[in-house]
Amino acid sequence: MPEIALQARGLHSYYGSSHILHGIDFTLNRGEAVGLMGRNGMGKSTLLKSLIGLVSPREGAVEVFGRPARGMRIHDIARMGVAYVPEGRGIFGNLSVRENLLLAARPGVDGRREWHYDRVLQTFPRVGERLAHGGQQLSGGEQQMLTIGRALMTNPQVLILDEATEGLAPLIAREIWHTIRVIRESGIATILVDKNWKAVTDLTDRNVILVKGRVAFEGTGEALRAQPELLAEYLGV
Ligand SMILES: Nc1ncnc2c1ncn2[C@@H]1O[C@H](COP(=O)(O)OP(=O)(O)OP(=O)(O)O)[C@@H](O)[C@H]1O
């Protein structure tokens, strides 16, 4: 089995004539957690979308578990074990919490069913208390937990979280960070995009910072903390 879960090489992506990604190289290894950071508009979401088939890169290569995947559609990449939790959530508001979870259930690519209904509810007890509620009745934090729970129900090998704690109260954000740690320790490779660089680097093996569609930094959280001038320049903190 390939050790590399996701890879981009020399990736160029555009929206119309706007050139957003300028030759990005990016790798996520099996079981690894990588933080993807950068100021607003630097191309983080575009890179994620280019990896999972929501944006079609114009140049470069994308590989998912060693298979060429540039130009593949999002649901084909999802079937290869890549779950994506977009910014702003994506639950079915007119279905109950229970239905949202059960509809997403499927075994992983190798038949694994480690993440089943009961385990997801144990991981997100708050969601378990709202099973009969409609998705739209949940608070922002509960919706975010449900969205991550739905992604886990697909037994992914890769989980991509785009701004999972955005706009949430600190206490709820802390709960989400705790669960991301549990998920990561379960062996799922993870890409984390979040403005909270401290929380990101506490969890990740490696971090990538984008500046204007290019990789400006790649390294451990320790290496980043040792260079506060980079934090100021690239993240504005
Ligand atoms: N659908 C789109 N059409 C045109 N331009 C877009 C589109 N989506 C994003 N952009 C532009 O592409 C650039 C990169 O956006 P992207 O969302 O990838 O940045 P980001 O680093 O994820 O930032 P943010 O944290 O603000 O989401 C920005 O200039 C943005 O305005």
- pLDDT per residue as tens digits for the range 22-46: 999 999 999 999 999 999 999 999 9
Residue 202 — pLDDT band, cuts 50, 70, 90?
A: very high
CATH number of the domain enclosing 115: 3.40.50.300
Residue 2 — pLDDT band, cuts 50, 70, 90?
A: low
pTM of the prediction? 0.95
The domain in which residue 74 lies consists of 4-235
Using DSSP's 3-state secondary structure scheme, residue 209 falls into strand
When divided into structural domains, the chain yields a total of 1
> How many residues in total does the chain contain?
237
Return the pLDDT at 90: 72
Q: Ligand 1 atom closest to Cα of 87?
A: 27
What φ, ψ does residue 22 adopt, rounded to 5°? Answer: -115, 75
Question: Mutate which of 14, 45, 54 to test ligand 1's pocket (most atoms within 8 Å of Cβ)?
Answer: 45
DSSP strand pairing (206-211 vs 33-37)? parallel
Q: What is the pLDDT of residues 37-73, one digit of tens each?
A: 999 999 999 999 999 999 999 999 999 999 999 989 9
CA of 13 from ligand 1 middle (Å) equals 11
Return the pLDDT at 1: 60
Which residues are registered as beta bridge partners of 58? none
Q: Is 46 in the pocket of ligand 1 (CB under 6 A)?
A: yes
- In a 13 Å sphere around the CA of 104, the CA atoms on its Cβ side amount to 29
Return the pLDDT at 137: 87
Could you report the predicted ipTM of this complex, rounded to two decimals? 0.96
The residue type found at 90 is G
Distance separating alpha carbons of residues 210 and 7, to the nearest angstrom: 16
Averaged pLDDT of the chain: 94
Q: What is the pLDDT of residues 6-27, one digit of tens each?
A: 999 999 999 999 999 999 999 9
Q: Is 18 in the pocket of ligand 1 (CB under 6 A)?
A: yes
